[in-house]
Amino acid sequence: MKLYDFPGPPSPRRVRIFLAEKGVELETVNVNIREGAQFADDFKKMNPHCTVPVLELDDGSYISSIDAINRYLEEKFPEPPLFGRNMEERAHINDWCHYINVNGFMAVAESLRNSAPFMVGRAITGPRNIEQIPALAERGRERVLYFFEDLNAHLEGRDFMVGDSYSVADIGALVVVDFATGMGRIAMPDGLDHLKKWHAAVSARPSAAAGK
Ligand SMILES: N[C@@H](CCC(=O)N[C@@H](CS)C(=O)NCC(=O)O)C(=O)O
């Protein structure tokens, strides 16, 4: 296996933290997306969607969705389980991961990619240039604030997103919160104490430093 990676952006970090929690190190190739390396012909042959990360599998094929990558790694390295320990946990983890992707990750991306000067003409990832729509940036920002509120309500009385152990739902939520408050420049409002407590705890795990 080989991981095509780049430190900083949220998507590669989700795989990095996952690997760190498993205690696994993979051979890694840096793809500098700030310099446009995702559009190079050789890279496009591996991933026509022009995004990082990409995982080269043992059979020499490539996958690029985070969910597919982390599920493959879970099967390769089952311990500790990060997709749940039983059917019910797996169902709730999948449920939360979907929510986090659609209402968290996509909302921050909507806000950032439709407003940042360095993303002019790059409102959506991929090989085609797509123009920014400023109103979507405003809507994305609003959605991120709702996302913070929803996570805060869910995390009341909980140490983890699902059940009593750390999972991919915690990884997804941590990366989205850091993406929002970092690159996204959307501060977490005052008063979200459950979210802040959980965020401090998951950020203190050694894996949280991975992919930064
Ligand atoms: N395929 C990934 C998303 C990967 C992605 O969006 N990667 C971003 C970095 S976070 C990227 O490669 N961006 C390149 C670009 O903006 O051109 C998923 O399953 O969510």
Q: What is the pLDDT at residue 33? A: 97
Q: What is the pLDDT at residue 26? A: 97
pTM: 0.97
Ligand 1 atom showing the smallest separation from residue 11 Cα: 10
User: How many angstroms is it from 120 CA to the middle of ligand 1?
Assistant: 16
Which of the listed residues 15, 43, 125, 130 should we mutate to test ligand 1's pocket, taking the one with most ligand atoms within 8 A of CB? Answer: 125
Q: What is the pLDDT at residue 212? A: 85
Taking phi over 0 as left and psi of -120 to 50 as alpha, with beta for the rest, 61 belongs to beta
Question: Hey, what CATH topology would domain 2-76 get?
Answer: Glutaredoxin (3.40.30)
Q: Considering only the top CATH level, what class is 87-209?
A: mainly alpha
Alpha carbons 170 and 167: distance in angstroms, whole number: 5
Q: What is the pLDDT at residue 211? A: 80
- Cα–Cα nearest to 162, from 70, 85, 103, 92: 92
- DSSP assignment letter at 208: G
User: How many angstroms is it from 135 CA to the middle of ligand 1?
Assistant: 22
Beta-strand runs (E) in 31-137: 54-56, 62-63
pLDDT tens track, the chain, 212 positions: 999 999 999 999 999 999 999 999 999 999 999 999 999 999 999 999 999 999 999 999 999 999 999 999 999 999 999 999 999 999 999 999 999 999 999 999 999 999 999 999 999 999 999 999 999 999 999 999 999 999 999 999 999 999 999 999 999 999 999 999 999 999 999 999 999 999 999 999 999 999 88
Kindly list the domain boundaries of the chain, sorted by start residue.
Answer: 2-76, 87-209
User: How many angstroms is it from 164 CA to the middle of ligand 1?
Assistant: 30
